[in-house]
Amino acid sequence: MKTEDETVRIGTEGCTGLITLNRPEALNALTRPMVLRIAEALTAWEHDPAIHQVVLRGAGERGLCAGGDIRAIHADAKAGTTGSLAFWRDEYRLNARIARYPKPYVALMDGIVMGGGVGLSAHGDVRIVTERSRVAMPETGIGFVPDVGGTYLLSRAPGELGTHLALTGTAVGPGDAILCGLADHYLPSDWLEEFTRELSFGPVKEVLGKFHGATAPPVPLADEREWIDHCYAADTVEEIHQRLLATGLPAAREASQTLHAKSPTSLKVTLAALRRARELDSLERVLEQEYRVSSAALSAPDLVEGIRAQVIDKDRRPRWSPAALVQVRPAAVERFFAPLGEDRELTLP
């Protein structure tokens, strides 16, 4: 079993600081000690003139990071304790810090990048995807709501693409990740080792110039924009369902079926969170909102049930409460956005 220090490897190569998430057996899922260790490294390098840039990568070949350690969150929520709040507080602070970091922050988004993995990577300066990248915010499937600044990113995706991805939890490949503003550059996975090695000698902008010529990845969502923008512009999840079915398109019908499997409460809260995030003027304000939502979700029944069905028992048959969209009243949604009290809020500069 790894010690806490071994779950994140911190090192330097030339002018580059290297952060390697090192829990490949758990798809590099994040724990609070990992978050704190990354934050400590960023602090040290911020004031080190020898370090010009930072690179984030994941150990193993399956992915950068599949998200937070949801088994630990499940245990916390089931026991009625609040350890997850400390984790989220530190994690969201780190997400905000990455976005404002004064040195180039390079994220190698190879393989699976979901939930907390998006928070560690998609707020960076240089976000690189590969042919193996699968990027997603799948929280509605476990009775949760996109966090780690996910509602900030997805609310600012072109048209209603972000709403589609947030509600359905659909994982996208490299081309669509770039289209949606979750990534910037595409490199084949077998170029990453050489790319990282070159970063030890020079700044990332110069190094990127040496790596060109890769075939542009496909962008399937670009061809789906018309029906996605129309359907997801609706004001309610119920109307989104109706519009999806009314199109008569197989892809829209499949999206409707996907929504039927998600937590009704999570769907309504997610839609409200996205709409509110569009009106907030910074990532910090959105993260503060997400902390309120996550805090409320921790004591709601669907989070425990969703993780049980998808991760613990794996029967894929969650019993949501309430079980239908019509049963989720406006007051129940509003509860997720209620102030926590001055001493309990997340406040970011």
Catalytic residues: 68, 116, 139, 147
**Number of Cβ atoms within 10 Å of the Cβ of 294:** 26
The tokens describing 253, both together, are 């019908």
The tokens describing 195, both together, are 């790319």
Q: How many angstroms separate the Cα of 28 from the Cα of each of 68, 233, 288? A: 9, 35, 25
Q: SS3 sequence, 159-225?
A: CCHHHHHHHHCCCECHHHHHHCCCCCEECCHHHHHHHHHHHCCCCHHHHHHHCCCCCCCCCHHHHHH
User: What DSSP string runs through 103-165?
Assistant: S-EEEEE-BEEETHHHHHHTTSSEEEE-TT-EEE--GGGGT----TTHHHHHHTSSTTHHHHH
> CA 335, 338, 344, 347 torsion: positive or negative?
positive
**Number of Cβ atoms within 10 Å of the Cβ of 336:** 22
Tokens 């990282």 correspond to what residue?
Answer: 196
Name every residue whose Cβ is closer than 8 Å to that of residue 248 and which is 6 or more positions away in sequence. Answer: none
Reading across the β-sheet that carries 134-136, which strands appear in turn?
Answer: 63-65, 112-114, 134-136
Q: How many angstroms separate the Cα of 115 from the Cα of each of 64, 104, 146, 235? A: 11, 22, 7, 25
The tokens describing 303, both together, are 């989070």
C-alpha span between 348 and 291 (Å, rounded): 11
The partner residues of 63 in beta bridges, in order of sequence, read 111, 112
